Amino acid sequence: MHFKECMTPSTGAAPSTFFSAVQFVMSAQCLIQTRDWPEDAELQDFEEFDFIIVGAGTAGSILANRLTEIKDWKVLLVEAGGDPPIESDIPGLTNSLYDSKFDWKYTTVNNGLTSQANKGGNIKWPRGKMLGGSSSINVMAYVKGHPKDFQSWYDEGNKEWHPDIVNKYYHKAESLQDHMLRKNPAIQNEYGHHGPLFINTYNITNTTLIDEILTSFDEIGMKPVEDLNTVNNMGSGRLRVTATDGKRISSATAYLNPARNRKNLKVAKKSYVTKILFNGKTATGIEMDRKGHKYKLKAKLEVIISAGTINTPQLLMLSGVGPKKHLEEINIPTVVDSPMVGQNLHDHTSIPTLIFADEPEAMDETTKDMESIKYLYDRKGYLAYHPYQDLTAFYSADPDSTYPDFQALVVFHYKHDGSIKKFASEYVKSVENSVLKLGKNRAMFQVRISILHPYSRGNISLSSNNPYDHPLIYYNSFSDDRDLDATVTAIKMLLKIVDTKFFKSIGATTGRLKLRACDGYEFNSDAYFRCIAVNMASTIYHPVSTAKMGRDISSSVVSSRLKVHGIDHLRVIDASVMPSITSGNINAPTVMIAERAADLIKEDYNKLR
């Protein structure tokens, strides 16, 4: 059954149960029909475009929009996945997309040292495989980072990325929707107001609990901040998000959909690029697998790789651009010996710190069902926000610092809602059993503590010369002891929250996790925390820097203008080009990078107006 129009709600004092049910169904149908994705283009072998963009993720969707603003540029956008499902639109259903066909399902290599409490000894690394990429699967947090992050990029010789320039392109992307924040002139000036990307605050209904936790953060020195994207983003508060009216706003929603009818844009979905084609050291096009047919497509001006931190170095290496020794080992002819391709991998290593308490209680099933139905009317309730919520704190080991070392993200596991069991099932049996014992008939606060500026570095390499084989992800968390020392400091600072007024009132406690490697250490000692951190290490899914920008090919992959060293007509534009990770979630910086890169391209062809 399909309804062509939304139904006007009943205004009667006591509408019939049947008519109310019909209205809810009609509302649901309208919700499903709100996205009009680009059509899947018909292509001819050897068809020529001015630009071919590989990957319709956060960056690729933006580039497709901005480059087709130039009407005489013909652009092809290629995406391995398809259209996002309705679960992507509804924030509260996001977790159902992990380990699905909309996720690349990457995992790190088990190194036998870290993450050994995780089942398999590795880390799952969800990446979006659909229009919008990871902006269609992430927690929607909009964190712009700290000016010092971009000053360090600039100081390394990347002259196109001064903090003032970066801020200009954030503003170009943004449209702040939060009416309360817009009343504050200082905050209003920190955002743009006319960009395609809506920035707002989740429609959360459990604000009493959030306020109690913010008060608790305040008691341990993490002062509440109205907006964490201000210049000195230290303290606690609620994150801004790329969601509005209870629905996700991905890059595909904000940028690709408005451009979908442009005559100079074609979008090829469920199409997998297997190789960049070269004439000597000049990129000339791509080889692509689409529904079992191999296409060769030509790029008159440039090929742009926006495949993300994992897929971008994989594609470069499959095409012969990478460390020569590694390419020779797997029988790939070297086009350019680029030693930093796939190197410098880092992320925000995340440690789940667990606090058990007598509250909060989960809503009963009837109430939850009614909230689900109510969401269709007012876009509020538990479906209007990601299960990770939006409650966070940025803090530093130095109480006088204005530059954060750590981020803590609070996840609620309500009493009797089954989420503790699901969380515990990700770990080896001894840890699983101890979490279930500690959480029996209790609630749990999972505080995910991340080191914002890690020293440890990993790498991505090819597992074979078969483009369909997943690459090998060597994360190497805690390979630098400074990260482990910092993590212990972060955990100890955070756990002071257990002794605050609110947490005491709900009987909050921590508890020993049973893990053979850690059983010999005194509970809550530095040695115990170090052991737990090493063995429970995960990430917050912010991989960056595997095609970093820099001065030359010996230390980086692309120039400050994002051109691949040693190759003409080839750029990389996505999170992989970051010289170093920013202070917080990386979707906002990736948006900014794409906006800036689009203008760099226009400048290079004298098209910038």
Give the residue extent of every domain in the chain.
Answer: 1-33, 40-112+121-155+250-342+545-609, 203-240+349-451+478-536
Instruction: Name residue 18's amino acid.
Output: F
The domain 40-112+121-155+250-342+545-609: what is its CATH number?
3.50.50.60
Q: Which two tokens stand for residue 592?
A: 């900014």
* Residue 485: CA count within 13 A, CB half-sphere: 5
Separation between Cα atoms, residue 288 and residue 269, nearest integer Å: 11
The amino acid at 58: T
- What is the model's pLDDT at position 22? 43
Interior CA angle at 485 toward 479 and 487, to 5°?
Answer: 90
Q: Which residues pair with 337 in a beta bridge?
A: 322
Fold of 203-240+349-451+478-536: Cholesterol Oxidase; domain 2 (3.30.410)
pLDDT score of 381: 81
Rounded to an integer, what distance in angstroms lies between the CA atom of residue 547 and that of residue 384?
A: 35
List 171, 348, 542, 569, catalytic entry:
542
Closest Cα partner for 291 from 75, 82, 55, 39?
82
**CA–CA dist 472, 459 (Å, integer):** 8
Q: Distance between CA atoms of 263 and 515, rounded to whole angstroms? A: 60
Q: What is the DSSP code (8-state) at residue 256?
A: I
Q: What digits encode the pLDDT tens for the residues 387-439?
A: 777 899 999 999 899 999 999 999 999 999 899 999 999 999 999 999 999 99
CA-only gyration radius of the chain, Å: 24
Give the pLDDT confidence of 484-517 residue by residue, as tens digits: 999 999 999 999 999 999 999 999 999 999 999 9
Distance between CA 437 and CA 119 in Å, rounded?
19
Closest alpha carbon to 355 in 235, 529, 495: 495
Q: What are phi and psi of 505, to 5 degrees?
A: -65, -20
Give 183-235 as a DSSP string: TSHHHHTTS-BSSSEEEB----S-HHHHHHHHHHHHHTT--B-S-TTSSS--E
pLDDT value, residue 455: 98
Residue 346 designated active-site: no
What is the structure's pLDDT at 8? 36
- The per-residue DSSP string of 262-311 comes to -TTEEEE-SEEEEEEEEETTEEEEEEEEETTEEEEEEEEEEEEE--HHHH
Query: In this predicted structure, what is the pLDDT of residue 11?
Result: 40
What does 137-184 look like in DSSP terms, one character per residue?
Answer: TS--B-----HHHHHHHHHTT-GGG-HHHHHHHHHHHEEE--HHHHTS
CA separation for the pair 209, 265 (Å, rounded) = 47
Residues 305/573, Cβ–Cβ less than 8 Å? yes
- Residues in the chain, overall count: 609
Got the DSSP string for 301-326? EEEEE--HHHHHHHHHHHTTEE-HHH
Do 236 and 392 form a contact (C-beta atoms < 8 A)?
Answer: yes
pTM for the complete prediction?
0.94
Residue 573: DSSP 8-state: -
Q: What is residue 254's DSSP assignment?
A: I
Q: Taking the CB of residue 552, how many other CB atoms lie within 10 A of it?
A: 11
- The distance from CA 250 to its chain's CA centroid, rounded to whole angstroms, is 11
Instruction: Sort strands 174-176 and 197-199 into parallel, antiparallel or unpaired.
Output: parallel
Can you list the residues of the chain whose pLDDT is less than 70? 1-34, 231
Enumerate helices (H) and strands (E) in the chain, giving the number of each.
Answer: 18, 23
**Cα separation, 5 vs 7, whole angstroms:** 6
> Is 273 annotated as a binding-site member?
yes
